[in-house]
């Protein structure tokens, strides 16, 4: 609906730039969201700000005074892309036509909300049920969202007689025409609530702390958002609820980390066990499991336990558990242990008696290997 920017700011059409600025500052302070958090005030604040942007610019104001538009379009001659959807829009703008016009509904959809909930890694693997507490807007139980005191009814607006809009003359280059705008008395609703609900101050909703149970699906990952339709804020004057988005935050685990659908862990194995081979038992989210370490296992070897990882969120089945073995070398040896290690080195023909290893033999063998390879290629 078209609005008279002078009327929005509450100034005369011949107001000076200083008067326009003063009027804007006054209304902006009254309607700013920091001082007036209502949804209606937020919409009025936007309208006031836009009106000031037009009237404070000398070129836009001249265009507006001449044509009724801040960009200089002449009424009825916008052409393609001129801002009118067709003849019916032009008729409605200047002559108050019906159709899409008429009183507005007070009911408005509530806002969506986003909250985070923290779960353990095991809960992410198998899924869980969590009790969520959130402070939100809920429908007022006194007026049941009607925004009026029980037993009362809205009164038809005496200014617009229920139409929600009024027509007023506007001088343009084409002469005096009629323009339609929201009724200032009822603000476009067509009726007036003379006895608003005392509990919700005529909003049809109040703020409360509510709790409910949410089922977390198996396989969710850190950062996953779950949409809970209709769990957001209650709407104004009985409007529908918005949606609630639950963002999952998975706590770090002491042992396991998650990569995709697989669970990873690192386990230290004594040097003797890695050399001789052994059987190891580990605790998993599915209970105790065991696996075999083959003789001669080296650091970095990965043991895979099938189907013990996280559940797959988008399909059936589970990932794997992967355990990386870290062969642990003893850092302190007593005399007996050192003697046994020296005996083992001697039996394996490892010359470590002097505490050092000659590198000459290694490089000589490496060179011999290259020579044999090249000689073989030449033959």
**Count of CB atoms situated within 10 Å of the CB of 98:** 12
CA distance 77 to 81: 11
Confirm whether residue 183 is marked as ligand binding: yes
Of 137, 128, 113, 142, nearest to 210 (Cα)? 137
- The annotation status of 227 as a binding-site residue, yes or no, is no
Q: What is the DSSP letter of 307?
A: T
200 is in an annotated binding site: yes
Supply 321's token pair: 């558990």
339 labeled part of a ligand binding site? no
Q: Which residue ranges form the domains of the chain, and what is each CATH number?
A: 1-72 (1.10.287.110), 103-154+193-252 (2.60.260.20), 257-328 (2.60.260.20), 335-378 (no CATH)
Q: Is 197 among the annotated ligand-binding positions?
A: yes
Q: Which of 310, 306, 304 is nearest to 325 (CA)?
A: 304
How many other CB atoms are there within 10 angstroms of residue 312's CB atom?
14
What are the angstrom distances between the C-alpha of 282 and each of 253, 303, 306, 336? 15, 12, 14, 32
Question: Is 46 marked as a binding-site residue?
Answer: no
Per-residue pLDDT of the chain (379 residues; tens, 9 = 90+): 457 888 889 888 888 888 888 888 888 878 766 566 676 777 888 888 888 888 888 888 877 776 666 655 433 333 333 333 333 333 333 333 333 457 888 899 999 999 999 999 999 999 999 999 999 999 999 999 999 999 999 999 999 999 988 887 877 666 677 778 889 899 899 999 999 999 999 999 999 999 999 999 999 999 999 999 999 999 999 999 999 999 999 999 999 999 999 999 999 999 989 999 999 999 999 999 999 999 999 999 999 999 999 999 877 899 999 999 999 988 888 989 888 888 888 887 776 555 555 544 545 544 555 555 445 444 4
Cβ neighbours, 10 Å, residue 155: 13
């Amino acid at each position: 609906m078209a609005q008279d920017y002078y009327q929005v700011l509450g100034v005369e059409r011949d107001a000076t730039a200083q008067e326009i600025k003063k009027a804007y500052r006054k209304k902006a302070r009254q309607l700013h969201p920091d001082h007036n958090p209502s949804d209606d005030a937020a919409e009025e604040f936007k309208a006031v700000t836009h009106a000031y942007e037009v009237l404070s610019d000398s070129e836009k104001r001249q265009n507006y005074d001449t044509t009724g538009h801040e960009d200089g379009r002449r009424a009825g001659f916008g052409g393609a892309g001129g801002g009118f959807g067709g003849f019916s829009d032009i008729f409605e703008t200047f002559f108050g036509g019906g159709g899409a016009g008429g009183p507005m509904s007070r009911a408005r959809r509530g806002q969506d909300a986003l909250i985070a909930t923290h779960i353990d890694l095991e809960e992410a693997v198998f899924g869980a049920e969590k009790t969520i507490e959130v402070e939100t807007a809920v429908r007022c139980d006194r007026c049941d969202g009607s925004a009026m005191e029980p037993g009362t009814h809205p009164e038809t607006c005496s200014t617009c007689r229920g139409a929600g809009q009024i027509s007023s003359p506007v001088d343009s280059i084409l002469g005096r025409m009629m323009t339609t705008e929201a009724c200032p008395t009822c603000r476009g609703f067509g009726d007036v609530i003379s006895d608003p609900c005392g509990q919700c101050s005529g909003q049809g909703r109040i703020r409360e702390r509510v709790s409910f149970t949410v089922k977390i699906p198996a396989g969710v990952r850190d950062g996953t958002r779950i949409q809970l339709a209709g769990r957001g804020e209650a709407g104004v004057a009985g409007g529908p609820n918005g949606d609630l988005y639950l963002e999952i935050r998975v706590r770090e685990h002491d042992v396991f980390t998650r990569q995709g659908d697989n669970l990873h862990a690192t386990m230290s194995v004594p040097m003797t066990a890695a050399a001789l081979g052994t059987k190891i038992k580990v605790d998993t989210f599915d209970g105790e499991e065991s696996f075999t370490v083959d003789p001669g296992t080296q650091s970095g070897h990965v043991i895979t336990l099938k189907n013990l990882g996280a559940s797959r969120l988008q399909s059936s089945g589970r990932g794997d558990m992967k355990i990386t073995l870290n062969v642990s070398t003893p850092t302190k040896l007593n005399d007996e242990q050192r003697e046994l290690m020296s005996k083992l080195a001697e039996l394996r023909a490892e010359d470590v008696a002097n505490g050092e290893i000659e590198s000459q033999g290694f490089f000589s063998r490496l060179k011999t290997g290259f020579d044999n390879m090249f000689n073989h290629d030449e033959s």
